[in-house]
Amino acid sequence: MRAANPRRQLKRYEQSIAQGGLRLTRQRRHVYEVLLERQDHPTAMDVFLRAKPGMQALSLATVYNVLETLADCGLVKKVHLGRGSARYCANVARHGHFTCTICGAVLDVPALPGAELEKLHQLPRGYTVTHQEISLFGVCAACRKEQN
């Protein structure tokens, strides 16, 4: 899978923030850059710990706010993977998440072209899906190798 292009994503960031009528603050940009740096689905606390050294004035509350704003703008996806805190994903391509139940690693798994997830379930009449999260759980290749 090809890694996201950080420069292109920063451009998208500027456009999305502007479209949302928001200011391009240093804090927002810094938090977004931290998310792009290592796309391993960090929690808000992880993001805070990574972002703090580059911006001493940053607080955890601000990081939460910024992450919510970025999610509202569609730049970041808030992901719920079973138990534990929400995680944040800067990959805006359509994808699901594979969580290794042994090491806890979270991997982006792209949707197959043409796959229509909406058609996998029978919705009651009058219901509309507005968003979806695909979470797969299992054992990653490295952990499986170690098991054998």
Task: Pick from 140, 145, 147, 148 the residue near Zn ion by CB under 5 A.
Answer: 140
C-beta of 68 vs 108, nearer to Zn ion: 108
Task: For the chain, give the number of residues.
Answer: 148
Which one, of 111, 97, 98, lies nearest residue 138 by Cα? Answer: 98
Q: How far is the CB of 19 from Zn ion (least distance, A)?
A: 22
Cα gap 70→34, rounded to integer Å: 13
Cα gap 120→107, rounded to integer Å: 22
Task: Pick from 31, 91, 98, 99 the residue near Zn ion by CB under 5 A.
Answer: 91
C-beta of 51 vs 140, nearer to Zn ion: 140
Cα gap 106→96, rounded to integer Å: 10
Which one, of 88, 111, 108, lies nearest residue 98 by Cα? Answer: 108
C-beta of 104 vs 123, nearer to Zn ion: 104
- Is 86 one of the binding residues for Zn ion (CB under 5 A)? no
- Is 134 one of the binding residues for Zn ion (CB under 5 A)? no
Binding interface with Zn ion (CB under 5 A): 89, 91, 100, 102-103, 108, 140, 143
